[in-house]
């Protein structure tokens, strides 16, 4: 396996509903030198999510087997029996193409990846303008039950406390502005 500290990585993290995935997709569409690291998870697809494109959807049993096989760079049990992680094979695939890896991960996953990749990674925290706006965004998705929305909000409040552990904080109030700021920061990091 290729050394894990070769190549560069851009890590985007945020509370659920802050807009990180929208920003990541905009950057991937605009910048040919980036490639998306498809995370693995043990949950079912939401909405129009596609296996192998949005996530690698694994059963809880398969996810646990891959943990035992040391197949992940990082992984986390976000909620009971709901696992998320980054497969080593995914990073190898992207670096073999000569591209910069882009991660779209939760806050703990982002901090774990930054710890792993150190100066080869840029960790970006996407911050919502307020908790109320975050709640509105989660409700407008219409993909989660009230119970899940409340779980996500409680987790988001904790995650916002970790923002200062990231290299850069971008407030996603006006989406176009946040995308432009992210693109400038990513371009500067890749070119240094």
DSSP state at residue 43: S
Q: Which domains does the chain have, with CATH numbers?
A: 9-191 (3.40.50.300)
Q: How far apart are CA 116 and CA 149, in angstroms?
A: 31
For the residues 5-20, what does the mean pLDDT come to? 87
pTM: predicted TM-score of the whole model, two decimal places: 0.84
Pair 9, 124: CB distance under 8 Å:
no
Residues 6 or more apart whose CB falls under 8 angstroms from that of 88 comprise: 1, 4, 71, 72, 73
Q: How far apart are CA 117 and CA 9, in angstroms?
A: 8
Percent of the chain surpassing pLDDT 70: 97
Q: How far apart are CA 162 and CA 81, in angstroms?
A: 24
Model pLDDT for residues 96-153, shown as the tens digit of each residue: 999 999 998 889 889 989 999 999 999 999 999 888 888 887 888 877 788 888 888 8
């Amino acid at each position: 396996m290729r050394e894990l500290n070769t190549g560069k990585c851009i890590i985007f993290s945020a509370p659920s509903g802050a807009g990180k995935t929208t920003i990541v997709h905009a950057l991937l569409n605009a910048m040919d030198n980036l490639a998306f690291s498809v995370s693995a998870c043990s949950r079912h697809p939401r909405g129009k999510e596609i296996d192998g494109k949005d996530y690698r959807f694994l059963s809880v049993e398969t996810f646990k087997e891959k943990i035992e096989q040391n197949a992940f760079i990082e992984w986390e049990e976000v909620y009971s029996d709901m696992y998320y992680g980054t497969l080593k094979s995914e990073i190898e695939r992207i670096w073999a193409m000569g591209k910069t890896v882009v991660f779209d991960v939760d806050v703990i996953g982002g901090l774990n990846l930054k710890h792993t990749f150190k100066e080869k990674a840029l960790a970006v925290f996407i911050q919502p303008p307020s908790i109320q706006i975050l709640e509105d965004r989660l409700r407008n998705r219409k993909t989660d039950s009230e119970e899940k929305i409340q779980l996500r909000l409680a987790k988001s409040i904790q995650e916002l406390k970790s923002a200062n552990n990231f290299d850069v904080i971008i407030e996603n109030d006006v989406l176009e502005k946040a995308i432009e700021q992210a693109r400038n920061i990513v371009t500067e990091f890749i070119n240094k």
